[in-house]
Amino acid sequence: MNGLYYDVIVIGGGPAGMAAALSAREQGAPKVLLIERDCELGGILNQCIHNGFGLHYFKQELTGPEYAGRFIRRLDGAGIEVWLDTMVLELDGLCLHTVSAAGGYRVVRAGSVVLAMGCRERTRGAIGIPGSRPAGIFTAGAAQRYVNIEGYLVGRRVLILGSGDIGLIMARRMTLEGASVLACVEVMPYSGGLARNIVQCLHDYDIPLLLSHTIVEIRGKNRVEQAVVAAVDGDRRPIPGTEQVFDCDTILLSVGLIPENELSRAAGIAIDPHTKGAVVYENMQTSLPGVFACGNVLHVHDLVDYVTAESQRAGRAAADYAAGQRREGAELELCAGDGVGYTVPQRLHLAHLDKTVPMFFRPRRVYGTCAVVARQNGRQVGRFRRERMAPGEMEQVALPALLLQDDGPVTLCVEEDA
């Protein structure tokens, strides 16, 4: 073929991209290219210096840089070409338009493409907090980079809005650096983070978690001086008379993550309105043939170990597609029912299923003892007991493929014990 061509091109050099590229190469793809917009591989893991990574995949407790380092070392000698400091401007089918200081503008074609661009944080502008706009307001991830990579302490008296995992971890990190973390304020009646992070990052350091509260005003001229916090009702509206004022110089926002899907949308790939990621089949292929998605660009994960496993499936499938193997035939839709926020995957190729079909989902609220039930055309095709579920923790079930038929969508729902 004329011009630049690779069997598999992976966009994104974080944990998802590295796992997908290695898996594609191991599956037999002769030419694999990994493109990363930063000047080094590893993605967000490079600034996550706390431990807790790798317990499932490596059976060891690692820090983020240690986890990333193991995959970076695997890339050495694996026969995978890596382009760093390179932006993908456009995805036109299986043709990529890229630009970099070293290589300039380049157009490269692929046998298949894996999207692994990760996600970004929601900012103040996305949630509309009223008040002045002084310095001292950071997303939790930006503050994490300043503290862990750049060596800057972003504040001394800190209030955290939102209880996502990065915010919880930064509550502990700021405390260890000598700052005073006044509270973690969460608008929902439950935390958005893992239970272990609530215990290890808040309870262990006596940091209050104010559920069903939010910031209603930020005060300060040049730098944050105060934040006004109020309780909210069931519709998340502030309740007059519940206001309390916190004297603080810094506010960290941990109010959600958004998958980086600008390339995907521009390419015409179908996007799930709930996950904000691509609609995918069981092999992680998107609605655009030959393009696969994995990791946080697909749906926001709790654990990097799950990102790795999912991305390996995507890499293997991308290599098979580039080699001419196609999944065709009858398709089945997977739907979120009562109590379920979303499912991944959202589509199945009936003729190409393994014995079980892994399904990831998040519950819509906190549940005690309950059952996750899958039904198709009135038939129960799966029932899974759970002692507890919460929106902050991703869940997984495995549907038996033999029970699935070509007679309508499969709906996943939650049933509480009577």
Tokens of 115: 């999207």
**Mean per-residue pLDDT, 128-156:** 93
* Cα atoms in the 13 Å half-sphere on the side-chain side of 303: 22
- For the chain, domain boundaries: 1-121+256-327, 123-255, 329-418
- Give pLDDT tens digits for 3-42: 799 999 999 999 999 999 999 999 999 999 999 999 999 9
Contacts of 161 (CB under 8 A, 6+ apart): 129, 167, 185, 214, 215, 251, 252, 253, 254, 255
Q: Which residue in 188, 128, 195, 132 sits closest to 162, CA to CA? A: 188
Name beta bridge partners: 213.
231
Using CA atoms, how far apart are residues 388 and 366, in angstroms rounded to an integer?
A: 7
Q: pLDDT category, 1, cuts 50, 70, 90?
A: very low
CA distances to 14, 27, 29, 80, 180 from 77, rounded to whole Å, are 18, 16, 15, 8, 47
- Give pLDDT tens digits for 98-120: 999 999 999 999 999 999 999 99
Average pLDDT score over the chain: 95
Name beta bridge partners: 413.
373
Higher-pLDDT residue of 194, 340: 340
Using CA atoms, how far apart are residues 214 and 224, in angstroms rounded to an integer?
A: 16
Q: Residue 291: what residue type?
A: V
CA distances to 2, 336, 358, 411, 417 from 369, rounded to whole Å, are 60, 20, 22, 20, 7
**Mean per-residue pLDDT, 45-64:** 95
Q: pLDDT category, 418, cuts 50, 70, 90?
A: low
Would you say the CATH fold of 123-255 matches that of 1-121+256-327? Answer: yes
**Mean per-residue pLDDT, 386-410:** 93
Using CA atoms, how far apart are residues 125 and 104, in angstroms rounded to an integer?
A: 34
Give domain 123-255's CATH number out of 1.20.140.10, 1.10.3720.10, 3.40.50.2300, 3.50.50.60.
Answer: 3.50.50.60
Is it the case that residue 44 has pLDDT exceeding 60? yes
Q: Is the separation of the CB atoms in 251 and 157 below 8 Å?
A: no
Q: pLDDT category, 328, cuts 50, 70, 90?
A: confident
- The pLDDT, as a whole number, for residue 131 is 82
- The pLDDT, as a whole number, for residue 132 is 83
- The pLDDT, as a whole number, for residue 125 is 82
- The pLDDT, as a whole number, for residue 146 is 97
Q: pLDDT category, 332, cuts 50, 70, 90?
A: very high
* CATH classification code of 1-121+256-327: 3.50.50.60
Region of 339 on the Ramachandran plot (φ > 0 left; ψ -120 to 50 alpha; else beta): left
- The pLDDT, as a whole number, for residue 111 is 98
Q: pLDDT category, 262, cuts 50, 70, 90?
A: very high
Using CA atoms, how far apart are residues 332 and 406, in angstroms rounded to an integer?
A: 7
Q: How far apart are the first and last CA of the chain?
A: 64
Q: Which residue in 395, 391, 388, 393 sits closest to 374, CA to CA? A: 395
Q: Which residue in 349, 341, 353, 315 sits closest to 395, CA to CA? A: 341
